[in-house]
Chains A and B, each alone.
Chain A
Amino acid sequence: DTAVSQTPKYLVTQMGNDKSIKCEQNLGHDTMYWYKQDSKKFLKIMFSYNNKELIINETVPNRFSPKSPDKAHLNLHINSLELGDSAVYFCASSPGVAGGVAKNIQYFGAGTRLSVL
C-alpha cells in the first residue's frame, strides 16, 4: 500500500548501457516529479509532469527521457549511462490544483540508487 513506489531500489550497471526506473503513485495525484540527489546530498529537480503533460524540464542531458503513460506513472529512461549519472533518483507526486490547500505538498518515493561502473 506504498503511496509512491519506485523500482528498482538499487541499480548497478556498466557505462554505456541504457536503463529505466519506474515510478507509480496510488494517491490520485495529478503531478509527478523526478529529482536527482548527488553524492553530497544535493537535491535538484529534473522533470515534472502534470496529467501526462511535461511541465518542467530542467537542464538535463538529452540522454534522460521521462515518459508518463498515465497520471499515476512517471518513468525515467537513461541512455548511454555515464559515471556522472551515479546518484539517487527520487520520484515524487503532489495533488496539483485539485488538491486545495494541499495542492503543492510533495510525497517522495524511497529512491533508486544508481551506480554506474
Chain B
Amino acid sequence: GEDVEQSLFLSVREGDSSVINCTYTDSSSTYLYWYKQEPGAGLQLLTYIFSNMDMKQDQRLTVLLNKKDKHLSLRIADTQTGDSAIYFCASAAGDTGRRALTFGSGTRLQVQP
C-alpha cells in the first residue's frame, strides 16, 4: 500500500524559513495535503496541491511537488512561534472524492524565539 514518510523533527529560529519534506510511494496520488496539529487540537488543513501542479503559494506557505521523485515540501516563510506544531503530509490516490488519506508520521516544528 501507500507509504508516506517525513522527518520527525525540525527546529528553526523565529523569522527564518522552515522547510518540511515528505516523500510518498504511490505514483497515482492525485491529491497531496499539508495539515497542522497544535498540542491537544484537531487537524487543520493548511494547503493542498493537485498532482498536475508543481508549485502552489498561499501567503507565507509555498508547496513544491516533484512528481518524478515523489517528493513534496512545505516552506513556511518568516516562521513565527505560533507556527510551532506537528505538520502532517498526506496523500490520496484516485479522483473519486471518496478516498481515505494516508498520513506521514508528522514533523514536529519547534520555533525558537
Q: How big is the B interface, by class?
A: 20 to 34
A14-22, A66-74, A76-84, A104-112 - interface stretch: A104-112
A25 at the interface (CB under 8 A from B): no
User: Cα distance A31–B100 when bound, in Å?
Assistant: 10
Main secondary structure of the interface of B (DSSP, over half): strand
CB neighbours (8 Å) of A41 from chain B are 37, 86, 105-106
CB neighbours (8 Å) of A97 from chain B are 96-98
Which residue of A is nearest B108, CB measured? A41
Whether A108 pairs with B42 at a CB distance below 8 angstroms is yes
Whether A43 pairs with B98 at a CB distance below 8 angstroms is no
Interface string of A26-44 (1 = CB under 8 A from B): 0000110101000011111
Whether B105 pairs with A95 at a CB distance below 8 angstroms is no
Q: How big is the A interface, by class?
A: 20 to 34
CB distance from B106 to the nearest CB of A (A): 5
Whether A103 pairs with B97 at a CB distance below 8 angstroms is yes
Of residues 19 through 41 on chain B, the ones whose CB sits less than 8 Å from some CB of chain A are 30-31, 33, 35, 37, 41
CB neighbours (8 Å) of B96 from chain A are 97, 103-104
Besides A31-B97, A42-B105, A58-B100, 11 other A-B contacts (C-beta < 8 A): A35-B101, A41-B105, A43-B88, A44-B103, A45-B102, A56-B98, A90-B42, A97-B96, A105-B31, A106-B33, A110-B41
Q: Please list 7 pairs of residues, one from A and one from B, whose beta carbons are closer than 8 Å in the complex, sorted by A's number.
A: A41-B37, A42-B105, A43-B101, A43-B103, A45-B100, A48-B98, A104-B30
